[in-house]
Amino acid sequence: MNYFTGCDAHKKYSVFTCIDERCKIQLNQRVEHEKGGFRKFLQTFPSNMPIAVESTGNWYWIIDEIERAGLNPHLVHAARAKVMMGQINKTDHGTYEDHA
């Protein structure tokens, strides 16, 4: 089965969501931006797993950490992704809380 993982990056934390081919959420986890904890979390993924990361102001270090963990980051244009998903407002309210 294929899995699709995305990272919703915020200033002090990121939310990682992983869904399967049937769009069933397999993981939805908030990860604080603490170096040791962030790295430890990334090491739980299989090697070379693709992870989509939105291109926010702090994406560069997140991409570096994903690469260091042996994963495959894909930078995504945040505004275009929202349009593709049918969301026209730039807001992340409820993203984590609705699936926790």
Domain count within the chain: 1
Q: Which two tokens stand for residue 6?
A: 């995305």
Q: Which DSSP string corresponds to 10-67? A: -SSEEEEEEEETT--EEEEEEEE--HHHHHHHHTTSPTT-EEEEE--TTHHHHHHHHH
Min mean pLDDT across 34-43, 60-69, 82-91 is at 82-91
pLDDT band at 17 (very low <50, low <70, confident <90, very high): very high
Residue 42 CA to residue 33 CA, distance in Å, equals: 12
**Predicted TM-score of the model (pTM):** 0.77
Domain that holds residue 48: 3-99
Whether pLDDT at 30 is above 90: yes
Per residue in 66-98, pLDDT (tens digit) is 999 999 999 987 666 555 555 555 555 554 444
CATH number, residue 36 = 3.30.420.140
Q: Which two tokens stand for residue 59?
A: 């994406």
